[in-house]
Amino acid sequence: MVRSRPRTRRLRTTLIAAGLVVLLAAGGGTAWAVDRFLVEHVEIADASAYEAAHTATDSTGSTDATQTDADTAVDVRTVVTGTGDDTVTYYVAEVTLGDATDLRSAFAKDQFGENITETTSGIAEDNDALFAINGDYYGFRDTGIVIRNGVVYRDEPARTGLAFYTDGRVEVYDETATTADELLADGAWNTLSFGPAVVEDGAVVAGIDDVEVDTNFGNHSIQGAQPRTAVGVIDENHLVFVVVDGRATGYSRGVTMTELADIMIGLGATTAYNLDGGGSSTMYYDGEVVNQPSNGGERGTSDILYIAE
């Protein structure tokens, strides 16, 4: 299935809630866990207004940053490989950007903080998105460098990140070796803080099948065959987004990190980065969710990457 248009909103929450029940029974740490993983902590109540106030303008004034460049194009297709229990189904969105800033980010409920969630499709609709994928679920953690749409929201270096720049560059970087302000000064437009990077210099990154990311309370290993979301770089302003369905025998088993890397390389990516997966993995296009999230429906997430209508 190919759909081309030239520019032409449960498992993680269930796991956390179940964990809290265990803590209640054990009588320890419950209040802390509820506050840390379930209670919304809103730091910025109106992210759109915050961005507008913090975005630099030139002498002629700002332009409408939500207007997608006329040359941006999105092509979405479905790929099915294997048979029986080995079937893998994934969705590919090849995106050519007219301008690097056409790739934008948005937060659930237009708020920045912890534990604020909304479905990918809900956030997409709130922002008049043509295309969207779930992001890095920044709100599940309090660390990482978070720059969105050219504005710094968090500067707590912790892991390997991915930075999109206004000149079209996309680079994997070590958060602990820089600061948000330094990235911004170098032209960073959006950063993602999850990982790991699965492809660098056109090759599979060694050791990715042993990497663990944020295996704190309420989270689980990212290893094994899982639903996945990833972004890859083919060329300047030429990106590829992949959502792999999983946990559905006979339809799609999911993929390992190495298998994800192989998919991205097969699509022409020289750099590729793993985003939040599992029940979060969602692709939205032209008014509908095109994949089949593993929870039987969308799971709330804290952020998306999107292309506006």
Q: What is the dihedral of CA 128, 92, 136, 199, to 10 degrees?
A: -140
292 occurs within a structural domain:
yes
276 occurs within a structural domain:
yes
Exposure of 255 in the CB half-sphere (CA atoms within 13 A): 27
Range of the domain at 147: 2-9+45-54+65-308
Average pLDDT over residues 24-53: 82
- DSSP E strand boundaries for the chain: 2-6, 41-44, 73-81, 88-96, 103-107, 112-114, 129-134, 144-148, 151-156, 160-165, 170-174, 188-192, 197-200, 203-204, 228-235, 238-244, 271-275, 283-285, 288-289, 303-308
The mean predicted confidence, pLDDT, of the chain is: 88
30 occurs within a structural domain:
no
24 occurs within a structural domain:
no
17 occurs within a structural domain:
no
pLDDT in tens, 126-158: 999 999 999 999 999 999 999 999 999 999 999
The pTM assigned to this predicted structure is: 0.87
Q: What pLDDT band is residue 211 in, cutting at 50, 70 and 90?
A: confident
* Residue 10 pLDDT: 43
14 occurs within a structural domain:
no
pLDDT > 60? residue 20: no
Q: What pLDDT band is residue 38 in, cutting at 50, 70 and 90?
A: confident
39 occurs within a structural domain:
no
Do the beta carbons of residue 281 and residue 294 sit within 8 Å?
yes
pLDDT > 70? residue 217: no
- How many domains, the chain? 1
* Residue 68 pLDDT: 66
pLDDT in tens, 173-191: 999 999 999 999 999 999 9
Percent of the chain with pLDDT over 70: 83
pLDDT > 90? residue 220: no
* Residue 6 pLDDT: 41
40 occurs within a structural domain:
no
* Residue 58 pLDDT: 40
